[in-house]
A and B are shown apart, each in its own frame.
Chain A
Amino acid sequence: MRILVDVGSCCGHARCAEAAPDLFVLNDIGYLDTPEIAVSEDQEAIARRGAGACPEGCITIEEAEA
Chain B
Amino acid sequence: MNDVPRSLSAGPRQAPAHVPAEMVRDYEVYYLGGSDKHTFSFLTGLHKDRDVFYNLNADPIICPNGSWYVTSFKLMNEVLKDAELFSSRDMVQYSRLIGESWDMIPLELDPPEHSRIRLVVMPMFSPQRMRLLTDRIAARAAALIDGFAADGRCEFIDRFANPLPVSIFLELLDLPFDRHHDFLRWASGIVHSFDPEERRRATQDIRSYLSDVVAERRANPGDDVISGIVAGVARGVPLTDDEITGLCFMIFIGGLDTVAATLGFTFRWLADNPEARARLRADAELRNTAVEEFVRAFSVVQAKRKLTRDVDFHGAPMKAGDYVTCVMGIADTDPDEFGDGAVQLDRQPNRHVGFGMGAHRCLGSHLARLELRVALEVWLDRIPEFSVEPGAQLTTHGAGGVYGYDQLPLVWPQA
Contacts and interface: CB of A to CB of B under 8 A. Distances in A.
A13 B358 contact: no
A14 B358 contact: no
Which of the four size classes fits the interface of chain A? 10 to 19
Given A13-B355, A49-B348, A55-B351, A28 B126 contact: yes
Interface string B347-375: 01111110101110100011000000000
Nearest to A28: B123
- State the majority secondary structure of interface residues on B: helix
Q: Name which of B123, B358, B359, B361 has the most chain A CB atoms within 10 A of its CB.
A: B361
Given A30-B122, A52-B349, A55-B352, A13 B365 contact: yes
B7 interface: no
Interface in A1-49: 11-15, 17-18, 26, 28-30, 49
Given A18-B288, A53-B348, A55-B351, A13 B361 contact: yes
Nearest to A9: B81
A26 B351 contact: no
A62 interface: no
A29 B126 contact: yes
Nearest to A30: B126
Contacts of B125: 30
Given A11-B361, A18-B288, A56-B358, A29 B348 contact: no
Contacts of A52: 348-349
Contacts, number: 47
Given A29-B126, A53-B349, A14 B359 contact: no
Nearest to B288: A18
B365 A26 contact: no
Nearest to B358: A11
Nearest to A53: B349
Contact of A55 (B128, B348, B353, B366): B353
Contacts of B350: 53
Contacts of B341: none
Contacts of B119: 29
B127 A55 contact: no
Nearest to A27: B126
Contact of A26 (B126, B288, B359): B126
A3 B351 CA distance: 19
Interface in B361-401: 361, 365-366
Contacts of A13: 355, 361, 365
A29 B122 contact: yes
A9 to B, nearest CB: 8
Contacts of A15: 292
Given A11-B358, A29-B122, A53-B349, 7 more contacts: A12-B122, A15-B292, A17-B127, A29-B119, A30-B122, A54-B351, A55-B357
19 contacts: A11-B358, A13-B365, A15-B292, A17-B127, A26-B128, A28-B123, A28-B126, A29-B126, A30-B125, A30-B127, A49-B348, A53-B348, A53-B349, A53-B351, A54-B351, A55-B351, A55-B357, A56-B81, A57-B351
Ordered nearest first, which 9 A-B pairs have the shortest CB separation? Answer: A30-B126, A29-B122, A55-B351, A11-B361, A52-B349, A14-B127, A30-B127, A29-B123, A28-B123
